[in-house]
Every structure is written in C-alpha cells, then in structure tokens.
Amino acid sequence: MTYHSNAIEGNRLTLKETLLVLREGVTIKGKNFQEHLEAKNQGEAMSYLFQVVDASHRLTLSHHLIRELHQLVVKDTEAKIAGSYRTTDVRILESKLRPSPGYQVQGKMSRFIAWLNKNKKMHHPVEIAALAHHRFVAIHPFEDGNGRTGRLLMNLLLMRSGYPIAIIQKNDRAKYYRALELADSGNPDQIVRLVAQADERILHVYFQAITKSSERDSCAHSL
C-alpha cells in the first residue's frame, strides 16, 4: 500500500527499497530525502489506520480524523500544511477538474462528512468507499497529499466494513485517473469497478495464504 500509493504520486522508490526504508531505516542511494520521508510518513499513517479500525479505537468519521490522516501523510515533508484545510485556490495536475475555491473547502468537507455518514449503509461497502474517495479528491481539501489521504480514507471505510485494503497499483495509474475524470462527469462506474477489482485482488492473496497455511498444518499433523 505504501509503495503503490506513493508511486502513483511520483515517488521513485521501488517496492524492495520501500520495505528497506520502513523496516531498516535504510537510505537508498540515488533517491532524494523527500522520497524516503514520504515512505516513512505513509507507513506511519497506515499503522495509525489499523489502530483506528481496531474495535477498541473506533473514532467517528470527522474533520479531526481526516486532518489527522493528512497530518501523518505530510508531517515530515510539508509540515506547514499538515492537517490544515487549504484556504487558497489550487489546480490538480493532469486533470481537467477545477477544485472548489479555498473559502468553500470547510463547508464542502462538512457536507461530505454528513453525506458519508448518511449514505454509508445505503450502498455496498466497496461502492461507498469508491464514491467517497472520488468526492474527497474532487474537493481537494488540502494543498497537497490529497490522493494519499483519500486512499487511506477509502481503505478505512473498507476495513471498518470487514473488507481488506484495496491497493490501486502503480501500473493502473492512468486507468485510475481516467476513472476519476469520468466520475467528475457524473459516471462513477469505472472508479467503483477499479476499487472492487483492487479489493478482490487482495482477497485472492489472503485466500492463497490461508490455503497454504492449511496445507502446511495438514502436512504437520500427518507427520
């Protein structure tokens, strides 16, 4: 998740290098310091996400929780904007969508949270996670880090409904941006399908792991 989410945004660390940075604190030759910090921050945000999902740490989806996720994502790279909604106007690279003016962000985020809390039980969990992700990145509430924060929020919703995380892979970057553009135009089918496929892919990984574990247990008992 850390590798792919950062790679979509242009981080050049490989999967193996990301693992070394997260587990060993290794500095990778030829990669800039910001790329290392992005991996570290995303890893910490993922750890926090699993704490929030835990039954004993359930927090209401709120401005505070969303800002907390963003703060973790950019705290070492863009500390000045970490956890703060933007008040200035921005443009999204590689997108025709023009985000709302800065003065509208607070109000739009309040309406987004109200919409999500009202509709989350009216849609399939995968569908609501995908729709919420699109609505969030369309508002673009922060100056930077919206994609990474939006994917964390999407996975928080999935995990709270008992689903595994959905990893949008680096190789699907163009398809992912195209799906978001279609959703901007009122057709969310492709972003919902993309998230569903990503979640299904991880389910297959889990099933394979469970099957192999069961086979090893059977072999051990037979011996």
- Please tell me which residue in 4, 140, 204, 221 is annotated as part of the active site: 140
- Kindly report the number of other CB atoms within 10 A of residue 10's CB atom: 10
**Whether residue 140 lies in the annotated active site:** yes
User: How far is C-alpha 164 from the chain's CA centre?
Assistant: 12
Angle of helix 146-160 versus helix 63-74 axis, rounded to 10: 130
Burial string for 186-222 (b: 16+ CB within 10 Å, else e) reads: eebebbbebbbebbeebeeeeeeeeeeeeeeeeeeee
Burial (CB count within 10 angstroms: exposed 0-12, middle 13-18, buried 19+), residue 63:
middle
d(CA 82, CA 69): 9
Please, how many CA atoms are within 13 Å of residue 10, restricted to the half-sphere of its CB?
5
CB distance 148 to 9 below 8 Å: yes
DSSP 1: -
C-alpha 34/C-alpha 38 separation (Å) is 6
What angle do helix axes 125-139 and 189-222 make, rounded to 10 degrees?
130
Residues annotated as catalytic are 140
